[in-house]
Structure 1
């Protein structure tokens, strides 16, 4: 395979080389005939004299020496700081008085995992997993979100004016359930996170998944009070659903719904300036439909969650 910037293929290089070496053409004549520079024509002619047809193959573009390469001792210091402190390139560069791009290049050369792929407490690479079928595991979580006062917040009014209306706005609570295999999401906006609200939400979420042909087998939540209540335990037990809770202070265990919350904030909650909380709430169902049916998901090879659910629209019930 020729180099992507090469003006000639290996066969094309052989033709001007033979014209110059065997037929006696001048370099300028060969260059004009084959639409290359005289320097290029001379290079292939010289290689043909020295190596024959084998000299027409591409060579490595790597230099024979790299006098400006980062010294081995410096590379070891970079790697040592990364492993011990788990810092990014900018902080390592400041500590060692280097350029961040140099540190990044060294980390990339030695294929050290990104910090986002590491458990900060242990330094171990986080093992990603995905359940084999829809409903095998559903992640459930509650996201607390500040309300927008009528007339808009600081994004509409500016930071000074927005501060005056912020304190009395209160909060909304987004109750969300995300299927581990398909990333199909069901979410509702409520005014609290009490056990009665969480239990009623799950009843509707379970109905939503059932209508999509998904039988929920297990639910994963954090250790919130509503998820430790008897009401929550009883509603899951009545449906034959196992309940599993994450370890304390380990939100990454419930990572799929945590990632959904981040997407939700970026693409809906803070995607544009809203003039009221009502305006933002009214935009939520449309965004959620887009997420489930049309938005490509990187973990699903660019396909939306609906592509992994057999009966999302209910047409086969």
Structure 2
């Protein structure tokens, strides 16, 4: 068997499906994706050929699921619907119909599927939805990732803090991880795994909670770590549909389809449930906002690769460079100012402004603060 890219306990079938969805997109670099997944080009093209000829069943090691004739009886259709409902009890008729078609089955009209499911009690209860608003999404994958912790809950091994990460354009779930806490070090460890697999986004948005935010608007160590890797950071406004609606909907689906009414005995059982649902969500579950396509068909890894080593910041000639000391302070013309603990040990650039005694504070390519020597003050934060 090929040496598949390790990432927890990912199964071969989900890796194959993820590969062919990425490789089937316009402009995909097949050989680069093969290297990314740790397989030979011959193997990659084999998967693509089987995918094109047989669909999802062509990627399975088990015998291929036989296709059904277009003229099968309603009993045959009902049996298929019962099978699909048994696997995806929270899906409605539209998702079930598309999923069965993706498996190679010829299905009747949506109205017929809906009526059969209603007749046999296979429809889920109506779920409260996000209020209808104008939908906004970025025009390409990796332009924006949204990150948050879903509300923590108890299980047999303690408490779980689910870390979630979603690509704005494709709705592709990049991370669904059980965490024992919400510390910066824990988040960074999970993000390194994501960056190594999918590359780096242009921008990430989070809310104002710990560990990525601060209610005072000052910079945090996690934000600086992201910015050091060339990722712009932003803040999402609570209940704002352009920034949080997709992730809120993801959390609602996670709660309904995985967590509600369930008890997990240990961490392994919990993470396996997360991994399985994430695979189904990305590669099998049709999404209404994507015209019933799956998120994996709209996503592809970023061309910006992750490196654990980042160069120190470089500033233009004429920019005054100061190093922040261990207490978070820097000195400018004899005036000691507090840049904040997040900047301890960092070199910042000071650009003189038109007003006498005022300087912009820069870190890499981001303006992070303003100094006013006349007032012996420094303001650090996103609003500077």
Band of TM-score, shorter chain: 0.3 to 0.5
**Greater strand content:** 2
TM-score by length of 2: 0.40
Rg comparison, structure with higher value:
1
